[in-house]
Amino acid sequence: MAAAPAIPRTGSTRAQLPPCYYEGYLEKRGAKEKVARRLWTCLCGNTLFFFNNPKDTNYVEKLDLSGFVSLIDDPSRDRNLEAARLNLRMKNGEIKLTAPNLEARELWKGFLYSVVDLAVPTTLTLLPGQLHMLKEVVEKEKMRRKARASSRAPSSPLSLPLVGEIPACFRPVSRTEAEVLLERHPDCGNMLLRPGRDGSSLAVTTRQDLNGSVFRHYRVTQKQQGGYIIDVENPIPCPTLHDVINALVEKTAGTLQPFILEEPYEENITFVSSNDENGERTLHCAPSGPLSRAPSLPPKQVGTDRWSLRSQTRSPSSSPRSFSPSGSPSSSMRRLVLSPSPLSQSLTDELKQKLEKRRTSQE
């Protein structure tokens, strides 16, 4: 099977782009485009970059494959009988691609699946050499993503304290993530504020449409005496970050608008439960009625109990020979023990008599 025509690139004309795994001509037609355009297409990392011709250094459009859904062959005939069509379905729409021939379409599918799934596809008709190429691409892409994740510095929080209220268009994202956000949500605005790459400054990223997406990045630095400056050829001083955004809106006559993404929230509480019999897991919606509260216990009278306990243990009289009232269970026994018995009384009388006799005899 012949490989699709591709022109290898040399030099560092596009060093800012990820490594190029495959490239060649494709006809592209988006959901809002009426006519397809023949563009030189490069698969760099997990992104498709489109150029007007192979010698261009600036791309006119790009497509991030992180929103990939499916890739389906289109059996409809093209005016070029050898051409092979392909429908690339993304989360935000469908894109129609046309390869020069069936072999080129099959190889494009192999490269796209490899960078999306990070695995060599097994359902395509490819030669052993082409499968080996895809295996190398998978390994390179894994290493690229791993290195990118380990080297990516945290974009928030900033190392400098922000003065005043932060605008709603501030997003703690990197430069690339800002471009993706603006491109995916064009109806939410075309300008956002983000942390700078060095962590000690801010940046404004804008997106406009000129035969494709055109991105611009402006540095915003904080002054030592307070306030901010938009670092352009003629610096623009601004007291607050809100003034930074307003200045860019005014300078462009309202063409630039702050990016406000209203993310939806759930209206109902849902949970997943499993069936004990068949193990099937089902999503349920929690009831929206008021919670049923259990009856509360009466409050414990701490002060009253403590006082009654003291009144029971404390003697009502200061006399050491006084005991509990007669109503208490132990009162009868205490009286029995302390009242003198007849025997003890007689012994006492006899002892008294002996003492009297001894006293008389001594006198």
Question: Can you give the pLDDT at residue 347?
Answer: 61
* Confidence at 252, pLDDT banded by 50, 70, 90: very high
CA distance 101 to 4: 8
258: closest CA among 323, 205, 326?
Answer: 205
* Confidence at 166, pLDDT banded by 50, 70, 90: confident
CA distance 190 to 173: 15
Lookup result for tokens 């009384």: 345
Residue with the larger pLDDT of the pair 235 and 329:
235
Does residue 57 surpass a pLDDT of 70? yes
Question: Can you give the pLDDT at residue 317?
Answer: 45
**Cis-peptide, bond into residue 157, ω within 30° of zero:** yes
Structure tokens at 276: 């004990």
22: closest CA among 125, 115, 88?
Answer: 115
Q: Under a CB-based contact definition with an 8 Å cutoff, are residues 141 and 119 in contact?
A: no
Residue with the larger pLDDT of the pair 265 and 304:
265
Question: Can you give the pLDDT at residue 316?
Answer: 44
Question: Can you give the pLDDT at residue 345?
Answer: 61
The predicted model gives 158-176 an average pLDDT of 76
Q: What is the mean pLDDT of the chain?
A: 79
Q: Which long-range contacts (CB under 8 A, 24 or more apart) does 41-50 make?
A: 42/9, 42/17, 43/111, 43/112, 43/115, 44/14, 44/17, 44/18, 44/19, 44/20, 45/17, 45/18, 45/19, 45/21, 45/115, 45/141, 45/144, 46/18, 46/115, 46/116, 46/141, 47/18, 49/17, 50/212
The predicted model gives 339-354 an average pLDDT of 64
CA distance 238 to 164: 12
Does residue 81 surpass a pLDDT of 90? no
Give the number of C-alpha atoms closer than 13 A to the C-alpha of residue 114, restricted to the C-beta side. Answer: 26
Question: Can you give the pLDDT at residue 98?
Answer: 93
The predicted model gives 174-190 an average pLDDT of 91
**What is the DSSP secondary structure assignment for residue 53, as one 8-state letter?**
S
* Confidence at 217, pLDDT banded by 50, 70, 90: very high
Residue with the larger pLDDT of the pair 32 and 302:
32
Weakest mean pLDDT among 82-86, 276-280, 332-336:
332-336
